[in-house]
């Protein structure tokens, strides 16, 4: 069901979906079996807490995901379970591929059959189509320079960049993504600047600093 949320805080979300079930339901039992590693970790850590309401954070090596994909049909979704073993396998694969190539794999809308390998399948399993919504929200303008470089050509030329590199973080959420033009994307990967999340500025190795012209989601 839809639940209330701040549209200004989450501009790229049309709505939020809440899945509700009881602790002893069949879906709960099934999820506990699939996500046994993260469930066991949380159960053990919660037993050690004095304040049971204190939120817990699952370390990367124990994280597991239930990914929800929208479909062309109203109120019908595809659910994908990603276990810790699959996360570990994907991390091994991403270490063999440079960051730009990884981002191109995530950008592919329909992967050609000759590119359908185990590597691309595992990587794209973590693609939640968030980048498409962010690009549309920024109207295909670069968050750094504010330019829509494809406008006069009637072409949607814009890239997405992972602040914490996807190859090590596997973080494809909106709070880890910037929408940038190809020029700035190339410069970032060529110089590897630090991004200050507090000031929303890139700090380059030569001392040059550059902020964001556009930002409503970070």
116 within some domain = yes
Tens digit of each residue's pLDDT (9 = 90 or more) over 80-130: 788 888 777 777 766 666 666 666 656 554 443 333 444 444 444 555 567
164 within some domain = yes
4 within some domain = no
160 within some domain = yes
Tens digit of each residue's pLDDT (9 = 90 or more) over 137-184: 899 999 999 999 999 999 888 998 989 887 677 777 788 899 999 999
Continuous segment of H or E residues that includes residue 42: helix 36-47
With b for 16 or more beta-carbon neighbours within 10 A and e for fewer, the 117-151 pattern comes to eebbebbebbbbebbebbbebbebbbbbbebbbee
203 within some domain = yes
16 within some domain = no
7 within some domain = no
From first CA to last CA, the distance across the chain in angstroms is 26
DSSP letter assigned to residue 153: G
Averaged pLDDT, 1-20: 58
Q: Residue 179 in contact with residue 130, Cβ under 8 Å? A: no
- Which residues, in sequence order, are CB contacts of 201 under 8 Å at separation 6+? 195, 209, 210, 211, 212
Please state which of the ranges 30-39, 57-66, 76-85, 97-106 shows the lowest mean pLDDT. Answer: 97-106
> How many independent structural domains does the chain possess?
1
Measured over the CA atoms of residue 113, residue 79, residue 38 and residue 60, the dihedral's sign is positive
Query: The domain containing residue 149 runs over which residues?
Result: 26-211
201 within some domain = yes
């Amino acid at each position: 069901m839809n639940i209330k949320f701040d549209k200004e805080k989450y501009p790229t979300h049309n709505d939020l979906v809440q899945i509700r079930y009881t602790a002893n339901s069949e879906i709960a039992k099934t999820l506990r079996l699939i996500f046994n590693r993260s469930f066991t970790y949380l159960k053990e850590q919660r037993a050690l807490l004095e304040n049971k309401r204190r939120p817990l954070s699952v370390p990367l090596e124990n994280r597991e995901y239930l990914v929800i994909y929208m479909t062309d049909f109203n109120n019908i979704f595809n659910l994908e379970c990603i276990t810790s073993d699959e996360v570990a396998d994907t991390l091994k694969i991403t270490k063999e591929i440079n960051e730009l190539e990884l981002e191109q794999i995530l950008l592919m809308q329909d992967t050609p059959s000759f590119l359908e390998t185990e590597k691309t399948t595992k990587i794209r399993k973590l693609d939640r189509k968030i980048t498409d919504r962010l690009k549309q929200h920024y109207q295909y303008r670069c968050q750094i320079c504010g330019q829509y470089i494809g406008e006069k050509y009637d072409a949607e030329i814009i890239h997405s960049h992972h602040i914490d590199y996807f190859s090590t973080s596997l973080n494809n959420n909106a709070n880890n993504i910037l929408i940038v033009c190809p020029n700035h994307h190339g410069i970032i990967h060529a110089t590897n600047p630090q991004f200050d999340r507090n000031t929303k500025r890139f700090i380059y190795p030569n001392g040059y600093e550059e902020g964001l012209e556009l930002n409503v989601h970070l």
